[in-house]
Structure 1
Amino acid sequence: MERIDRRKRQREWFRVGDCDVAWLVPLLLLMGIAAVDLLTSEQFRIVSWIVLVPSIAAALCGVGTTVVFALLSLVTYVAVDTVYPNQYRAGNADFVLVALGGALAVIAAEARARRERREGHMRDIAETTRRTVLRPLPPGWAGLEHAGVYLAADTDARVGGDFYDIQPGPHGTRVLVGDVQGKGLGAVETAAALLGTFREAAYHEPDLATVADRLETRMYRHRGHTAALGRYDGERFATAVLLSFPQREGDTVEIINFGHEAPLAVGPRGVRPLPGTERLPIGFGHLTEGLAGGAADLPSADLPAKVPAEALAPELHPDETLLVVTDGVTEARDRRGEFYTLVRELDRALARDPGRAAPKRLVRTVRDGVLRHTRGRLADDTTVFAVRRMADTSD
């Protein structure tokens, strides 16, 4: 998992090696004001500008450092001002100004420190939530080579409605990648509900179509529960791609597409979309002729009883990687409003280096391309997930 942390990058400007040198900025300002005041004539006094020093410290440094600069500003003011004859001294009024400015700077630094601690706590909670929803996947999990990147558009929240997971089981290894409509905790809750159902159904159900039906049922149950709690947030839905790598020998992969961008087969021969059984987004199944059975507890009594469609199983060559992205990639725009052309960029990258089809390199290529195209200004949460069967190294 990777993310963008603008605040951390901004702090890097004030580091030399492992040392934070932000205190150099107010120190140089203090020395500069004192030097200019001493080197100019009595008619040009700027010693009272020292009031700016603790304010700068409050913006860049901690509370303790700000207190030091507030006191140092007072001492420097008195030392510089007493050099001049009485008739040219700035006097007590400016001394009070510097003292008051230092006190206000310390208060501001303390308020900023409290806010940053609170934001840090919220980021830790969001990080824990993200790891709960998007659990870490072991390398080579279930015989699949995989890689995934999640980039949150809201860098403070670090979590949104994008989700993915791999679930091995007795009927093959299933993969789910999707995007819940909307943002905020409601989207996160929906993603967690779908992933929980996927992990159980993908393990137990022999048919991928039944797993898809269970996801549809879970969405209706979840919406009914939130509505009963008084938190009805509209007809929330999710687009997703549901995959299955059967245990039987062969290079086929079963695909059910819930209104998502088609998965791409990426390999040395280029990029091609893989067809799959097309369904409406998860949550809109009542608009077609079918929904999984066992829906007696759903709020709508007139929901259909069964979806008969089976998953299509196109061929995936051994040297091809299956790539699934969310709309954070397909709808990424630059400053001129032009979309990121994923297929064209991948074709160019593969032409230069066919080895980029490996999952880790492929995910890194797409991630870097999107960030470069948008200049780091993501308009939506972005997920890039790549997976393929691991090469059989047995004799």
Structure 2
Amino acid sequence: MSPASTGHALPDRYPAAGRADVVQRQQMLRVRGRSVAWLPPLLLLLAIAVADYNTTGEFRIISWIVLVPGIAAALCGVWGTALFAALSMGTYTLVDNAWPHQFQAGLPDFILVALGGALATLACGVRVRGERRALHMRDVTDTVRRTVLRPLPPGWGGLEHAGVYLTADAQARVGGDFYDIQPGPHGTRVFVGDVQGKGLGAVETAAVLLGTFREAGFHERDLAAVADRLEARMVRHRAYTTALGRADGDRFATAVLLDFPADGTDVVDAVVFGHEPPLAVGPSGVRHLPTAGGLPLGYRDLAPGPPVVRRVHLGADETLLLVTDGVTEARDVHGHFYAVADDVRRSVAADPRLTAPAPLVMLVRDGTVRHCRGHLTDDTTVFAVRRTRVTRSGRPAGATALPTGADPAAGVERREGGRSPL
């Protein structure tokens, strides 16, 4: 499967399924932004007419003109196909009548051309209706994705940030990975994680957890209280899905919950729920934050007790890198996992500018896709965040940083899920 940045890669606006957007022309049939979908059927029509005029009377090919509306039906809109059907009948009549009577194809072939044009126009209408339905469903899916992975403003909550989301399913465009930043009176909280499983159930669970995080992350003073709220919400959601008789009643989520406290500029508090611990990436090197441990959300009953909150020193030039298992479990052709920490360490040593969130996210995304040759087996999220640094002019250094949800390298969206363009 080719990965999709499903983007998520989240543009600021998503097109509605309007009449002008119904027919999705292939990009190769556009020149300087203008559609040239009409050109292939027109060239075919002219070629058949000219070839028939220059052949002998024993070998007439004018009836081949029935192919023209069929080609138009695959490339043009309904009215364009109808126009080519009419042109085909008109051209047939003119060319055929130019021959002596004994060599004319006559009425039977004209009926064939007319019937072919009518059927091609009908088929085009069916195709356009299907495209309209698909475009509407894409719009619905993008709305769901925009709800789960909401676009984050640059410098949101005093943090520089960048993120990219690739779905393993190129058509789904949304999955169970999630991330968010929630500023509040007690600091700025960051939440990154991965819901077990795939499908709409995983999306629903991610939305439930994010809704709880956005409220608790704002109101609760202690990070442990936010963690407790998330655990309780996960348990309640599992009970709800079980009561509905659904098969995903044992779903869980791994996650990392971070707090950049308002009263400390060189520390970060972290709670890990069975997730890969964050990497602190700086010019001096790469290190794992000593925050490993903790059970996934939904399994607190296996080890009762308050969540463990660890406070870790974080340098002013260090960026926290968080990835889901789509990165850490990406395999190459030999079955070897992607060593993200080693790759980042080598790259940062060669170019310290890669420690900024946007280029760091691009680095890990490209490294993951390259390592697995585009065969992503799980949804993949790469998220990087650090405190906004103030320049000498007084402007935040992250003011021009890439908004989270926007693809750091536009054009990756394929948007990647089976086979990457890289």
TM exceeding 0.5 = yes
Structure 1 residues 281-304: Cα deviation after superposition (integer angstroms, max 9, x where no partner): 21222222x1xxxxxxxxxxxxxx
Aligned to 1:381: 379
Structure 1 residues 46-105: Cα deviation after superposition (integer angstroms, max 9, x where no partner): 222222211111111111111111111111222222233333333333222222221111
Residue 363, structure 1, aligned to residue 361, structure 2: yes
Q: Greater relative contact order (Cα 8 A, min sep 6): structure 1 or 2?
A: 2
Tell me, yes or no, if the aligned pair for 2:52 and 2:61 is still in contact at 8 Å: yes
SS at match of 2:313: coil
SS at match of 2:312: coil
Aligned to 1:153: 168
Change in Cα spacing, 1:8 to 1:139, as seen in structure 2 (3 Å) is farther
Aligned to 1:263: 278
What are the residue-to-residue correspondences of 1:1-395 with 2, within 5 Å? 2-3=7-8, 11-288=26-303, 290=304, 307-333=305-331, 339-373=337-371, 378-392=376-390
Work out the CA distance in 2 between the residues paired with 1:3 and 1:138.
16
Tell me, yes or no, if the aligned pair for 2:241 and 2:249 is still in contact at 8 Å: no
Shift of 1:373: 4.9
Aligned to 2:407: none
In terms of mean alpha carbon deviation, does 214-223 or 261-270 score higher? 261-270
Work out the CA distance in 1 between the residues paired with 2:25 and 2:377.
20
Work out the CA distance in 1 between the residues paired with 2:265 and 2:229.
27
Aligned to 1:297: none
In terms of mean alpha carbon deviation, does 218-227 or 266-275 score higher? 266-275
Shift of 1:151: 2.7
Structure 1 residues 276-323: Cα deviation after superposition (integer angstroms, max 9, x where no partner): 1411221222222x1xxxxxxxxxxxxxxxx23422223222111111
Shift of 1:9: 9.9
Tell me, yes or no, if the aligned pair for 1:63 and 1:110 is still in contact at 8 Å: yes
Amino acid at match of 1:138: P
Shift of 1:219: 0.8
Shift of 1:332: 3.6
Work out the CA distance in 2 between the residues paired with 1:151 and 1:127.
14
Shift of 1:341: 4.2
Amino acid at match of 1:318: A
Amino acid at match of 1:314: V
Give the TM-score, by structure 1 length. Answer: 0.86
Work out the CA distance in 2 between the residues paired with 1:361 and 1:54.
49
Amino acid at match of 1:326: T
Amino acid at match of 1:349: S
Work out the CA distance in 1 between the residues paired with 2:267 and 2:113.
75
Amino acid at match of 1:355: R
Work out the CA distance in 1 between the residues paired with 2:371 and 2:76.
34
Tell me, yes or no, if the aligned pair for 1:321 and 1:359 is still in contact at 8 Å: yes
Shift of 1:242: 1.1
Structure 1 residues 315-353: Cα deviation after superposition (integer angstroms, max 9, x where no partner): 222111111122233334567766544334323432442
Work out the CA distance in 2 between the residues paired with 1:217 and 1:93.
76
Amino acid at match of 1:58: A
Share of identical aligned residues, percent? Answer: 63
Work out the CA distance in 2 between the residues paired with 1:104 and 1:135.
45
Tell me, yes or no, if the aligned pair for 1:4 and 1:152 is still in contact at 8 Å: no
Amino acid at match of 2:136: H
Work out the CA distance in 2 between the residues paired with 1:322 and 1:279.
19
Work out the CA distance in 1 between the residues paired with 2:232 and 2:99.
83
Change in Cα spacing, 1:168 to 1:58, as seen in structure 2 (3 Å) is same
Tell me, yes or no, if the aligned pair for 1:277 and 1:309 is still in contact at 8 Å: no
Change in Cα spacing, 1:217 to 1:4, as seen in structure 2 (3 Å) is closer
Structure 1 residues 149-181: Cα deviation after superposition (integer angstroms, max 9, x where no partner): 223334444222111111122332211001112
Change in Cα spacing, 1:379 to 1:107, as seen in structure 2 (3 Å) is farther
Shift of 1:393: 5.2
Tell me, yes or no, if the aligned pair for 1:237 and 1:283 is still in contact at 8 Å: yes
Tell me, yes or no, if the aligned pair for 2:38 and 2:76 is still in contact at 8 Å: yes
Aligned to 1:293: none
SS at match of 1:278: coil
Give the TM-score, by structure 2 length. Answer: 0.81
Amino acid at match of 1:27: L
Structure 1 residues 175-213: Cα deviation after superposition (integer angstroms, max 9, x where no partner): 100111222322221111111111222223333233222
Work out the CA distance in 2 between the residues paired with 1:376 and 1:42.
56
Tell me, yes or no, if the aligned pair for 1:223 and 1:232 is still in contact at 8 Å: no
Q: Which runs of 5+ in 2 are unaligned?
A: 1-5, 11-21, 395-422
SS at match of 2:293: strand
Work out the CA distance in 2 between the residues paired with 1:8 and 1:327.
37
Amino acid at match of 2:127: R
Work out the CA distance in 1 between the residues paired with 2:258 and 2:360.
19
Amino acid at match of 1:256: V
Tell me, yes or no, if the aligned pair for 2:167 and 2:174 is still in contact at 8 Å: yes
SS at match of 2:267: coil
Tell me, yes or no, if the aligned pair for 1:53 and 1:70 is still in contact at 8 Å: yes
In terms of mean alpha carbon deviation, does 223-232 or 45-54 score higher? 223-232
Change in Cα spacing, 1:19 to 1:282, as seen in structure 2 (3 Å) is same
Amino acid at match of 1:213: D
SS at match of 1:135: coil
Tell me, yes or no, if the aligned pair for 2:164 and 2:381 is still in contact at 8 Å: yes
